[in-house]
Amino acid sequence: MSAGISRSGKPAVVAHRGASGELAEHTLAAYELALSQGADGLECDVRLTADGELVCIHDRTIDRTSDASGVVSEMSLAQLREYDFGSWHRSGRAASVLTLRELLTLTLDWHRPVRLFIETKHPVRFGSMVELKLLEVLHEFGVAAPPSADHSRAVVISFSPAGVWRVRRTAPILPTILLGDSIRIIGGTAATAVGATGVGPSIETLRLHPDLVDRAAAAGRVTYAWTCDDQADVQLCADLGVRWLATNYPARVRDWLVTVE
C-alpha cells in the first residue's frame, strides 16, 4: 500500500499544521496528536532561519505564534529555541520551535506509513535557497528519490510555480502540488508548465469550481483540498474524488468520512 493513502478509497486525511484545531500549530504535540488520531498525512510550512535551518513556521514573523516578536529569516535557530511557541494557544501548552528534521524523524519513525506535505513559502529573503535546502534535508533522510511517486513519504507543495519547478527539475520523482485559490493558476496551464503532479485548491475555490477535480484527473494530477473543517465540505471532497483533504481537526474528519457513502 502506498505511504499515507486512505485505506477506504475515500479522501486521505492530512493534518494541517498538525491537529492545530486542538493544540498549537506546528508543535511536536500537535503532530503527535494528529498521528495518534489516525491522520494519513501531515502538513507543515517551512522557513529558513538566518543560519540556514528549516523550521516549521507559517508566518514571516513569530509574533502570532510565540511569546516574542521578530522576523524568522533574521533569527538563528538558537534564538528561536529561547521562545515559547505553544502557550499562546488556548490549550496553554508550552512548546519549542519545531525543525523540519525533527518532524521528518517523527513522521518516518511512526509505526505506520505517513506522508509529509511540506510547503515552501514565497516570496522570502532567501528565494530559491528554500527549495535547495529542503531537497538537501530530504536527501539526508533518504526520501528525496522515492522508488515511485505513489510510494513517496514526502510531497513538496507551494503557491509558487517557480518553487514547484525547482523541485521537479532537481528531484523529478518527488511528488509536487501547486497550491492556489485562483482557478486561472491551478486550473490553467501553470500546473502543466511546472510539471506539478497535483493541484491544491482552497475549499472555497472547490465549491465554486467542482469540475476542477475531474479536469485535474484528466491531466493525470491528483487534488489536494485545503482547509476542510466542515462536514459539508468533507462530503463534497468525497463526492468529487479529492485525493487529499487537509484539515485542522483530523479526528473529527476521519469520523465524518466513516459515514460517507
Q: Are 45 and 58 in contact (CB under 8 A)?
A: yes
In the predicted model, what is the mean pLDDT of the chain?
Answer: 94
At 153-185, the pLDDT tens digits run 999 999 999 999 999 999 999 999 999 988 877
- pLDDT tier for residue 8 given thresholds of 50, 70 and 90: low
Q: What's the distance, CA 3 to chain centroid? A: 15
% the chain with pLDDT above 70: 97
**Residue 16 bears catalytic tag:** yes
Please say if the pLDDT value at position 252 is more than 90. Answer: yes
- What residue segments make up the domains of the chain, in order of their start? 12-259
Mean local confidence (pLDDT), 134-150: 96
pLDDT digit string (tens) for 17-68? 999 999 999 999 999 999 999 999 999 999 999 999 999 999 999 999 999 9
pLDDT tens per residue across span 57-111: 999 999 999 999 999 999 999 999 999 999 999 999 999 999 999 999 999 999 9
User: pLDDT at residue 7 above 70?
Assistant: no
- pTM, entire model: 0.96
Residue 231 has pLDDT above 90, yes or no: yes
CATH number corresponding to 12-259: 3.20.20.190
Kindly give the pairing relationship between strand 222-225 and strand 41-48: unpaired
Please determine, for residue 1, whether its predicted confidence score (pLDDT) is greater than 60.
no
Q: Which of 26, 58, 122, 139 is catalytic?
A: 58
